[in-house]
């Protein structure tokens, strides 16, 4: 059956969406994936969800589980993507990891109907997608559907430090394994350290055993993702020491506190995938403890909050100026900072309409060993501020709307001048 469904699925994928049979492409792939899933009894399906940290948890989990067998990872932000992940599983695959998004209500349930995981991982519940959910309770209800779908023989891996996640334990018949700083967690982090330019390290305790864990990640907030990955390994038969060794090999995912160094040992740290207000505190904590010759914080669009935008941006600016030498805002919202720039913050606060202007400003004033933290939405492409220094980026198109990183864009090498 595996060989037959794979052969048919390849033929179906060749159908053009705009062709005469294009309307049948999606339903056919879904049906094939459902049939294929029935035959994949040799595969452990693990679904990862959460408001923050799930992609890094997935990448770390893939490294950990790969030490025990062949592992396939994918994204389940739609039934189509979930179907394609299932159809790509081979006969030798032992683990299948899928990241589940919940951008709007109903999205997770669509993927779960096909995936039918036996292991569910929930990292956090935060104020992402505020317009869709409006409350943490509503967000938790949506993500908790993963646990309700787990079989009694399955395992739910939950963050013990997030009350909304921990409460999901009552929504599943599966065995529960908790992780976190909490002394009541099954898998516990201790002695955590992450002071830039150092990397995140900690000790992890499980069933009386304590192991030192070193990572290539920056920022203490990644403890959640690290513990989630180790927990996935432990319930799959990987010992604690092997989990720690696998985690050490994983570099940050691009745009999720990824590190990019200039030749003068200065570094850009990109937090440029998404920018809900509640995650700004993580960036502030990272920069506050950092050791660098100069600290610069760059902000693009900030999302997912209640209240007036001008108050939010001014509050972020004031908090940032307390810990950074320079704070730069990029985009239309920079107009909200005019009053601050005329007052007490005029020497350290800058605002630019476009990323090309901000990039030119930073290029004109460099300092050896400085730290430049950049936060914004994926569609803003603030990574160009770094790429202009390290890869001679030539495209300064504003509002292109593409949900891909600049380096993966077909137009990356096509010169486009920035707005004047």
Are residue 222 and residue 283 in the same domain, yes or no? Answer: no
CATH of the domain at 44: 3.40.1190.10
Residue 334 lies in a domain: yes
Residue 137 lies in a domain: yes
296 and 165 in a common domain: no
The CATH number of residue 300's host domain is 3.90.190.20
DSSP assigned state of 417: P
φ/ψ of residue 406, rounded to 5: -55, -40
Tens of pLDDT along 343-388? 655 678 999 999 999 999 999 999 999 999 999 999 999 999 999 9
Residue 8 lies in a domain: no
Pair 190, 290 in one domain: no
Q: What pTM value is reported for the model?
A: 0.90
Asked whether residue 416 is domain-assigned, the answer is no
Q: Give pLDDT, residue 172.
A: 95
Question: Do 267 and 190 have their domain in common?
Answer: no
pLDDT of residue 15: 46
The answer to whether residue 353 is domain-embedded is yes
**Is the domain of 311 the same as that of 384?**
yes
What pLDDT, on the 0 to 100 scale, is given for residue 1? Answer: 52
Which residue range(s) make up the domain with 298? Answer: 256-408
pLDDT at residue 402, rounded to an integer: 85
Tokens of 394: 């030539």
Q: At which of 216, 247, 278 does a domain end?
A: 247
Contact call for residues 323 and 353 (beta carbons, < 8 A):
no
**H or E element that contains 199:** none
Whether residue 48 contacts residue 57, with contact meaning beta carbons closer than 8 Å, is answered with yes
Query: Same domain for 189 and 294?
Result: no
Q: Are 323 and 242 in the same domain? A: no
**387 within domain boundaries:** yes
How far is it, in rounded angstroms, from Cα 199 to Cα 268? 15
Residues 288, 179: one domain? no
Contact 182, 160 (CB under 8 A): yes
Instruction: Select from 196, 224, 247 the last residue of a domain.
Output: 247
Burial of 11 (0-12, 13-18, 19+ CB in 10 A): exposed
- The total number of structural domains in the chain stands at 2
Q: List, for the chain, all residue ranges whose pLDDT scores fall below the cut of 50.
A: 7-8, 11-12, 15-22, 24
For 275-287, what is each residue's pLDDT tens digit?
999 999 999 999 9
Residue ending a domain, among 223, 247, 271, is 247
Helix ranges restricted to H, 175-308: 223-234, 240-247, 280-289
Residues in the chain: 420
Whether 228 and 312 share a structural domain = no
pLDDT at 101: 75
Report the pLDDT value the prediction gives residue 306, as an integer from 0 to 100. 84
Are residues 262 and 243 located together in one domain of the fold?
Answer: no
Q: What is the DSSP string of 16-66?
A: -TTSTTGGGHHHHHHHHHHHHHHH-TT-EEEEEE-SSSHHHHHHHHHHHHH
Same domain, 187 and 204: yes
Same structural domain, 223 and 264: no
- Say if 289 falls within a structural domain: yes
Q: What is the pLDDT of residue 21?
A: 45
Tell me, yes or no, whether 46 lies in a domain.
yes
How far is it, in rounded angstroms, from Cα 82 to Cα 74?
A: 7
């Amino acid at each position: 059956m595996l060989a037959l469904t794979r052969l048919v699925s390849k033929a179906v994928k060749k159908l053009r969406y705009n062709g005469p049979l294009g309307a049948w492409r999606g339903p056919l792939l879904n049906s094939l994936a459902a049939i294929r899933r029935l035959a994949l009894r040799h595969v452990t399906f693990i679904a990862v969800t959460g408001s923050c940290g799930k992609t890094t948890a997935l990448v770390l989990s893939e490294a950990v589980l790969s030490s025990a067998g062949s592992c396939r990872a994918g994204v389940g932000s739609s039934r189509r993507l979930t179907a394609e992940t299932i159809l790509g599983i081979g006969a030798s695959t032992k683990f299948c990891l899928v990241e589940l998004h919940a951008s709007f209500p109903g999205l997770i349930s669509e993927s779960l109907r096909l995936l039918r995981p036996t292991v569910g991982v929930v990292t956090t519940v935060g104020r992402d997608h505020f317009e869709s959910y409006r409350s943490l309770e509503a967000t938790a209800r949506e993500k908790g559907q993963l646990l309700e779908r787990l079989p009694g023989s399955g395992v739910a891996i939950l963050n013990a430090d997030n009350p909304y996640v921990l409460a999901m334990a009552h929504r599943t018949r599966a065995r529960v394994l908790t992780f976190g700083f909490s002394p009541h967690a099954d898998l516990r982090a201790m002695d955590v350290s992450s002071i830039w330019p150092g990397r995140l390290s900690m000790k992890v305790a499980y069933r009386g055993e304590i192991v030192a864990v070193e990572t290539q990640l920056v920022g203490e907030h990644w403890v959640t993702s690290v513990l989630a990955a180790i927990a996935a390994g432990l319930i799959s038969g990987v010992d604690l020491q092997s989990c720690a060794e696998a985690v050490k090999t994983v570099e940050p995912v691009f745009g999720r506190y990824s590190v990019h160094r200039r030749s003068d040992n200065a570094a850009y740290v990109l937090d440029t995938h998404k920018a809900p207000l509640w995650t700004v505190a993580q960036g502030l904590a990272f920069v506050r403890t950092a050791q660098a010759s100069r600290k610069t914080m760059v902000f693009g669009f900030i999302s997912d909050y209640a209240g007036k935008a001008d108050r939010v941006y001014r509050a972020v600016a004031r908090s940032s100026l307390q810990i950074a030498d320079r704070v730069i805002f990029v985009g239309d919202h920079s107009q909200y900072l005019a009053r601050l720039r005329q007052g007490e913050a005029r020497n350290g606060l800058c605002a630019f309409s476009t990323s090309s202007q901000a990039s030119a400003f930073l290029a004109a004033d460099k300092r050896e060993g400085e730290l430049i933290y950049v936060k914004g939405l994926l569609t803003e492409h603030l990574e160009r501020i770094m790429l202009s220094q390290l890869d001679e980026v030539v495209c300064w198109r504003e509002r292109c709307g593409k949900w891909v990183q600049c380096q993966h864009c077909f137009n990356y090498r096509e010169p486009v001048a920035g707005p004047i």
